[in-house]
Homo-oligomer: A and B are copies of this chain.
């Protein structure tokens, strides 16, 4: 009998663990589908079931107004960040959900430290917040562009660890996912966007520049993940060449975290007991 897949097998070793030094993205197959049911239809059904259970948890989160949950999504262009949000949260009540996209910093944002704009957007009590890109862009893009050196990116890794430690110590649960696709898969997806004029809004010619630096980005991701996967804010690598697998796996991961919080509705209010409305 094969051992069933475990989400923990896809967790990046913690920074404090010796194995972090040996962590390699290349060793993880982007085409793997460990959490797939085997068919697209099966995955869709499974996603629907998990999504409804997330919805149940999220209502309690919202009712309780105590826990805060942050899901960070990172990945190369076309890795499916938007698609994951749509797929996983399509059936979740929009009331307690907040999606925050981070683009290239504007002038005011760039005039502050790199965590400033991120801190303003962290979840409040009762919120499930999704970062579509995040503060991790600031240890990836400037590194690949040659704007910061190793001393600076190491310093930022530490700053990120300390920032995330503070967030978790003050009540936030953090889950971080790298949507892991292959260079070849990206090729097909970018070509499809180029060939469909209604998809041009998702793409700029300049995005091809990042693709030219594929190897440098993978190296930057590897280092960033190994340096910032912690017990309190772990990174998971999501094999994402298959969209239906990607959605199921992110949903299963989020559900496990939410159910782990043991969320309950707040206690009944004594003063409401037996009250008759006029």
Query: Do B93 and A276 touch across chains, with their CB atoms under 8 A apart?
Result: no
* Known A201-B266, A277-B194: A85·B89 in contact at CB below 8 Å: no
Q: Which residue of B lies closest to A202 (CB)?
A: B63
Our pick among B63, B64, B200 for the contact of A272 (Cβ within 8 Å) is B200
Residues in chain B near residue A65, CB distance under 8 A: 201
Q: Report A61 CB to chain B, min CB distance, Å.
A: 11
Q: Report A216 CB to chain B, min CB distance, Å.
A: 16
Query: Do B94 and A91 touch across chains, with their CB atoms under 8 A apart?
Result: no
* Known A197-B268, A201-B266: A277·B95 in contact at CB below 8 Å: no
Residues in chain B near residue A277, CB distance under 8 A: 187, 190-191, 194, 208, 211
Residues in chain B near residue A63, CB distance under 8 A: 198, 201-202
Q: Report A102 CB to chain B, min CB distance, Å.
A: 14
Residues in chain B near residue A95, CB distance under 8 A: 82, 85-86, 99, 132
Q: Report A258 CB to chain B, min CB distance, Å.
A: 17
Query: Do B194 and A272 touch across chains, with their CB atoms under 8 A apart?
Result: yes
- Per the bound structure, the CA–CA distance linking A204 and B97 in Å amounts to 24
Residues in chain B near residue A204, CB distance under 8 A: 269
- Per the bound structure, the CA–CA distance linking A224 and B252 in Å amounts to 47
Q: Which residue of B lies closest to A276 (CB)?
A: B191
Instruction: Tell me the A57-90 residues at the B interface (CB within 8 Å).
Output: 63-65, 82, 85-86, 89-90
A203 interfacial contact with B, CB 8 Å: yes
- Per the bound structure, the CA–CA distance linking A125 and B270 in Å amounts to 46
- Per the bound structure, the CA–CA distance linking A278 and B183 in Å amounts to 10
Q: Which residue of B lies closest to A268 (CB)?
A: B197
- Per the bound structure, the CA–CA distance linking A97 and B200 in Å amounts to 21
Query: Do B89 and A201 touch across chains, with their CB atoms under 8 A apart?
Result: no
Interface residues of A (CB under 8 A from B): 63-65, 82, 85-86, 89-95, 97-99, 132, 187, 190-191, 194, 197-198, 200-205, 208, 211, 265-269, 271-272, 275-278
